[in-house]
Each structure stands twice: as C-alpha cells, then as structure tokens.
Structure 1
Amino acid sequence: MGYGSRAEIARLGKVGGIVLDGVDLTDVSRRIPVTPDLAERMVIDGRPVDPPPGLVLILNKPLGMTCSHKEDGALVYDVLPDRWRRRDPSISTIGRLDKQTSGLLLLTDDGDLLHRVISPKRHVAKVYHATLARPLVGTEGALFASGTLVLEGEDKPLAPAVLEPITATEARLTVTEGRYHQVRRMFAAVGNHVEALHRERLGGLALPADLEPGAWRRATEAEVAAIFA
C-alpha cells in the first residue's frame, strides 16, 4: 500500500507508529488480512490506514494537469498522497482528459472496473460542456447524430453523438466513444474551435457540485453504480 519498505515499516513499528485494535503493533512480521474494516482498526502515524485495493476516486481535474505517470509538468497524481504512487496494484485514471480539459475524472486501482467503464461495448456516455470560438450554424447536431462523421486521419465513422446548444457559442455534447481529442476534433470538422472544454458527467455520475477544481474524494458504492445506470 506504499507506506514503505520492509525495513522502514519495521522501524515505524518499533517506535509505536502502528496501532492495531488499540494496541501498538511492534511485531511487524505478523500478517494482517487486508479487509474492508482495516481502516477502522489500524492507525499508522496517527491516521487511519489507507483504503485497501478497490479504491475509486472522483477528481475535479483542473486545467494544466496531465493524465500521465511520466510526462513533465503537473500531473493529476500530484494531488494524491505521495505514497499512493507506490500502491500495488497502481492507481490509474479511467480514461483521460487532455491538459486543457477540466472536470470529472475517475481514478482507480480496480482494473476490472477501469476496463468496464472504457470498454466500447458498454457505451458509457461522456458529457462535455464546450465553449466555442464561433457561433453554431445549426447543422452540427444533425451531423453529429448521423453516425456518418469521419474525423481527419481516420476511416471509421464516429458513433452517433448528441449536441445540445446552450448559447450561440456554448454547447453540451454527449459521446459514447473515447477517441483521441474527440470532442475538439468533432468541432474542428465543422469549422469551429473549442476554446474551453469541461466534462460534466460520466454515465449516470455527475461531477459533485461541492468538489472544487483540484479537489478529490473517494467515490461511494452508489456513485460507482451510477456510472452504469
């Protein structure tokens, strides 16, 4: 779970830094089952132990952060506790938002959940709020919904998407695919340019209104289920 090497954990135990069921755990050779209630029973350095594998996080991704483990600059993983980078299995984003896209982003160490969400067979809808450089002309919605639009450099048409105009230069777009820079390229295909892009929803899960940019929290079981609702 990333707290340290065997030697580091041994030193922590010897100085009373690990408490299990109210008692100092100095014998760090003991094997402790990682059960769902462990966070209620174990304290490390004065804080409840981290959640076990099966972790799902909701992040309000701010602009300027990259969904990568390796690229230069600010990464979405930077907002998490540093030790979480050492968890095994590792935490990964469920899909990606590019550096200049903000909004709802999920992270997990549950590989099965990750693949279920991004699988093309699931058709999990992704809803974006786009601010455009030029006014809509009125024909974009029909084209996006037709299932015939082919993006530049590709030969397979996009799945039908739903466009909901908000103002002359703002629209809500719902897509069920996750192609590279898809929303930006869709508007580029109709002669427009996306100046700002924000993801509001993933499946039936909306970005919590109380989650400020850069803030995150654990998703509840109900919220995870809502993705597929």
Structure 2
Amino acid sequence: MKLVKHIANLGYGSRKQVQMMFREGRITDADGEVLYADDKVEPQVIRIDGEPLDPPPGLTLMLHKPAGFTCSTKDVGRLIYDLLPPRFRDRSPVLSSVGRLDRDTSGLLLLTDDGALLHRIVSPKSALDKVYEAELAQDLRGDEAATFASGTLMLESEDKPLLPAELEVLGPRRARLVLHEGRYHQVRRMFAAVGNHVQALHRSRIGGLELGALEPGQWRMLDAGDLERLFGQRG
C-alpha cells in the first residue's frame, strides 16, 4: 500500500491532506530524514511531527470510560471518541466499541478495528465473564444472591431466563456482580427485578482483563499479552 493511502487510512487526514504533510516535511523517518510520498519504507520507522505512526489495522485499546459519555460516533453530547486522539475516529477500518456501556455506566470498555476480534469477544461461545460494581438506592434484602444464582430469573419483556450470576455483597447498598452473558442493561434490570434501583454502575473486568490503574478518561493500547489474558483463565 502506498504511504499516502496508508497514512490516510490511519485517520491523519484525507489523501490530499497527507500529500500536503509530505510537502511540508512533517513526515520523516526515525532519524529525522524527510520522507517523500513515493518512498518505500516500513510503517514502524515513520514519524509524523516527530511522533511514531499509529499502529496499522489490528489496533485494540482499553478505555476507562467515565460516566456521562456515550458509546457512539454520532450522538449529541459527550462521546467516548472525545477522550481519544481525533484521528482515531477517522481510521479505516473504523475503531468500534466492543459492545457498549450506557451513558451513566463507567469502567472498562474495549475498542478495536479488528472485526474478527470484536465478534470473538462478544460471541457467547467465548463465555467472557463481565464484572460490575453497583451502588444501590436501597439496602440489599439478603436474598438477591440466591435469586441471581438460580438460573430462573426472568427480565421484563423477555421469555428466556438469565444464566446464573454471582453476587458478592460489598456493603448494605453495594454489590459486585459477575455475569456470564450480556443482555441489554442487564445489571440494572436484574436489580429492578428484585425491587431495587442502581444509582451508579462500574465495570472492572472483562474475561481475564482488568481495568487496573487507568484513571477515568485514560486509555492504553493492548498487546498480544493483554489479549491472551482477556481470553485466558478467569477467577
């Protein structure tokens, strides 16, 4: 692939804009030597304004999504893409969120431009656990863990019971919940089914991958080791 097309596909600008970047001398190699649009070099040596070129397609990253941001490219208001370099929104193929966290839910969100990886993560066959911490409007009654673990709980407007889920009590109005499936607004609807209301919700883990020390709004790229942990043993 020609350099102009490759750089444009990474979201740095249109092909015309990238050609202008070459003419302005903004694109160099690792030693600072100016590159030209018809040069043949490996992407890993390219620098734009002195910074390494973004990874090629196959980019996957972890974002600590704050509450108040929407997993969309088009909705009004604050979007998760506002937390990322602007060019990430313009990559081709597109960088998509892997599933969604609703606007009022914070925590671990994955994004990737690898369609096969995205489908593998969300596929029920992968059986990736998802761990949430919930703050509730009312005190726990004490029977919620047994109800959620029963495998018989039905959500409103659905005709298939939920898979068993594990609940750990963290306080009178705080709980950790481990899910083995992903239905629409599942945690909120589960607590609604037992007469409670989720006031704040946070996702801390998907599969074997934990949010770790990332602060709200921070992100980092994932490597092969991270993906191995994602699909690896879960505790």
Query: Shorter-chain TM-score category?
Result: over 0.9
How many correspondences in the alignment? 222
Unaligned runs of 5+ in 2: 1-9
CA offset digits 1:23-46 (Å, max 9, x no partner): 3112x134655xxxx33x110122
Q: Does 1:181 align with 2:191?
A: no
Aligned match of 2:137: 133
Query: Which residue, 80, 83, 99 being the options, matches 1:76?
Result: 80
Q: Which amino acid aligns with 1:156?
A: K
Deviation readout 1:36-70 (Å, 9 max, x if unpaired): xx33x110122111111111111111010001111
Number of the residue aligned with 1:7: 16
SS of the residue aligned with 1:155?
Answer: coil
Secondary structure at 1:24 match in 2: coil
Q: How many angstroms does 1:7 deviate by? A: 1.8
Structure 1: unaligned runs, 5 residues or longer: none
| Residue equivalent to 1:212 | 215
SS of residue in 1 equivalent to 2:124: coil
Q: What pairs with 1:181-200 in structure 2 (closer than 5 Å)?
A: 181-200=185-204
| Aligned residue type for 1:147 | G
Deviation at 1:108, TM superposition (A): 0.8
TM-score (norm 2): 0.90
SS in 1 for 2:169: strand
Structure 2 distance, partners of 1:102, 1:207, is: 11
How far off its partner does 1:94 sit?
A: 0.9
Q: Deviations over 1:59-82 (max 9, x none)?
A: 111010001111111010111111
| Per-residue CA distance 1:85-123 (angstroms, 9 max, x = gap) | 111111011111001100111111111111111111211
Letter in 2 for 1:12: M
Identical residues among aligned pairs (%):
56
Q: CA separation in 1, counterparts of 2:13 and 2:198? A: 44
Name the amino acid aligned to 1:24. Answer: V
TM-score normalised to structure 1 length: 0.93
Q: CA RMSD in A?
A: 1.3
Aligned residue in 2 for 1:227: 230
The residue type paired with residue 4 of structure 1 is G
Which residue identity does 1:86 align to in structure 2?
A: D
Q: Which residue of 2 aligns with 1:18?
A: 27
Q: Which runs of 4+ in 1 moved over 4 A?
A: 30-33
The one-letter amino acid of 1:65's match is: F
Q: Aligned partners of 1:73 and 1:29: how far apart in 2? A: 41
Query: Which residue does 2:171 correspond to in 1?
Result: 167
